[in-house]
Chains A and B, each alone.
Chain A
Amino acid sequence: MAQEKRPKMSDRLQAIDRRWIFLFIMLAVVIPLAFDLTIDEVATPEVQAIYDRIENLPPGSNVLLPFDYGPESEPELQPMADSYVRHLGRRKQKLFFMCLWPTGQAQTLKTVSQVLEQEFTDYSYGRDYVMLGFRPGGQGVIQVVVTDFRTLYQSDVEGTPIDDIPMMQNVKGLKDMDLILNISGGFPGLKEWIQFGGDRTGVPVAGGVTAVQAPLLYPYYPGQLSGIMGGLKAAAEYESLLIQGYSEAYGTDTERFAAIRRMGPQTLAHLVIILFLVVGNVAWFASRGSSRERLKSLEK
């Protein structure tokens, strides 16, 4: 009985069981988490621009924070939301939270309860921050609030009439904001805030999006978009800037900075993917070469 020829290494690599890939990715994520591998990032100009924009705002400026994302993009975007609020809190700005996504309200509450209420005990609801909540309509909501918030927001999330909220007394529409700082996980999001909010009012717009969305927004930077943060890496860069800028408050405490901690698993997972890409291509070239040789020998 003829012995069956064992497949070549390159062919075996090409047909590798995908569960091996899953295993390597799992290890790449779990190991850095287990060993608490943290990585400090160097800020790119797009991230630095947002940091500088907030630094240069005079204290008491009105900053609109539309949180347009849900739990599926929380690992990437929640660290951005927390960092913005931390930075704005340090600069004593007035915060106006709203959302165009139904899930945005729960994400807002998370940041407010875990960051604002814990770290900025001097911040008072109605005087320093307000949660306007969700309204359906996507970009239609932006078009309406350009002239007047009260048309769509008669009350805040607690049901308090808008006119009874002290910090809303001098605010009519989007034009009364000094900065729009959006965090977006898709549509409607940062692009709509640029097109229907920033461009119509002249209020500067900046924000953070998921890594896959970022390339779509680069055409707006730096003209219509003051700064852009794409994905976890940008969030980690912003956290590094905060740690450097407010070292007296944060020192070497990286525990509260989720993006810096999550960059370890992301870095290793990227390296594993790079490795697989290289191995996959080498195996493909090798098997292509051997099949050509086989073809030539058959022709002979």
Chain B
Amino acid sequence: MRRQIPLLITFVVGVIMLFEAFIPHPPFDQLNESLSITFDVLAAFAFVLGGGNLVKIHLAKISRSEPGWGYSAVTMTGFFAMLAIGLFKLGGPSGVRHALEAEGSWFQAAYDYCFLPLSATTFSLLAFFVASASYRAFRAKNREATVLLIAALIILLGRTLVGTALTETLPGSLELLFGALLATLAWEQYRSKRWIPLSLIGALGAFVLGRTLYGYLILAGGGDFYLLTVPDLVNWIMVVPQLAGQRAIMIGICLGIISMSLRLILGVERSYLGSDND
């Protein structure tokens, strides 16, 4: 019975939620709302459970004087201080009906003068570590890493006005850069005597450079001609290759979730019940 009842609850709730997605009418929509409220109530209890767990772990660490127990003491001091300030609404208007964040409340002061600067500082440190880590690890070690590095450089450049300024003052610079890259690749193919890749790369390079030169002629004549800009390239990276990758990952995750949900609803997956010895 210890296993059958939870399995039955999972099956019934799962089926109701599944049907509600396809039949958003009574009684399924009402049942969905009731179950969502139950979930919200349980979520509120999770805060108590989380707090209790935090206290248990850190108090044990302090009592055993384990390495780093001082940090646990700081955590516990902060935890109990905020709990007391919040529960007794110190400094602000008391009573259940008044907001914790009311003017003059210690809770808001602790948020503004302790939590906010501490969180912002910790997060800001990321900039330094990202710069250091990218300097050491972001190397064009192989073909995939090179593509990633070039995309990252373009995105970084496009996120600043320098990217816009670069292609505005030097129109066609991206095409020329791409042409130079193709020329280098073509030279390598020539040295290796690989004629088919050479002809393909050479044709592409000739097209890019020819189109750019033609664009210059049109622009010199006072006409209008589209030449690639860094912001356009950034936009293309975001909405074509990046989006395709994201969609593929999302579809994969969704298929995984569907399969896992079906296993849970049908009682095939039972690991969430714990072992029989528990």
Contact = CB atoms under 8 A, between A and B. Distances in A.
Contact of A140 (B43, B100, B132, B164): B43
A255 interface: no
Interface in B47-68: 47
Contacts of A16: 135
B96 A159 contact: yes
A52 B156 CA distance: 27
B156 A274 contact: yes
A25 B132 CA distance: 9
Contacts, number: 158
Contacts of A31: none
B33 A21 contact: no
Contacts of B140: 281, 284-285
A280 interface: yes
Given A71-B116, A157-B99, 15 more contacts: A44-B231, A44-B235, A72-B122, A105-B101, A106-B101, A137-B39, A157-B101, A159-B96, A211-B159, A215-B238, A216-B246, A218-B246, A219-B243, A266-B159, A271-B162
Contact of A277 (B39, B112, B117, B152): B152
A152 B246 CA distance: 34
B13 interface: no
B97 interface: yes
Interface string A119-136: 000000000000001011
B136 A22 contact: no
Interface stretch (B123-131, B190-198, B270-278): B123-131
Contacts of A147: 29, 33
B120 interface: yes
Given A136-B43, A155-B97, A158-B99, A281 B161 contact: no
A109 B104 CA distance: 13
Contact of B37 (A18, A144, A273): A144
A144 B33 contact: yes
Interface in A154-169: 155, 157-159
B116 A144 contact: no
Interface in A93-144: 103, 105-106, 109, 133, 135-138, 140-141, 143-144
B160 A71 contact: no
Interface residues of B, number: 60
A4 B121 CA distance: 43
A75 interface: yes
Contact of B242 (A24, A72, A215, A278): A215
B5 interface: no
Contact of B119 (A72, A109, A219): A72
A73 interface: yes
Contact of B156 (A29, A157, A273, A285): A273
User: Is the contact region of chain A dominated by helix, strand, or loop, or is it mixed?
Assistant: helix
B120 A71 contact: yes
A159 B156 contact: no
Contacts of A44: 231, 235
A269 B157 CA distance: 11
B123 A277 contact: no
Contacts of A269: 127, 131
Contact of B160 (A137, A231, A271, A281): A271
Nearest to A21: B132
B258 interface: no
B98 interface: yes
A223 to B, nearest CB: 12
16 contacts: A21-B135, A39-B161, A74-B116, A74-B119, A103-B115, A106-B111, A147-B29, A158-B97, A159-B95, A219-B250, A231-B159, A233-B159, A266-B159, A278-B153, A281-B139, A284-B140
A224 interface: no
A138 B115 CA distance: 22
A4 B161 CA distance: 47
Contacts of B24: 200
B131 A276 contact: yes
Contacts of A277: 134-135, 138, 149, 152-153, 156
B72 interface: no
A155 B97 CA distance: 9
Give the top 6 A-B pairs by smallest Cβ distance, nearest first.
A159-B97, A137-B40, A71-B119, A72-B123, A71-B116, A143-B36
B44 A137 contact: yes
A25 B99 contact: no
B239 interface: yes
Given A159-B96, A219-B243, A277-B135, A70 B36 contact: no
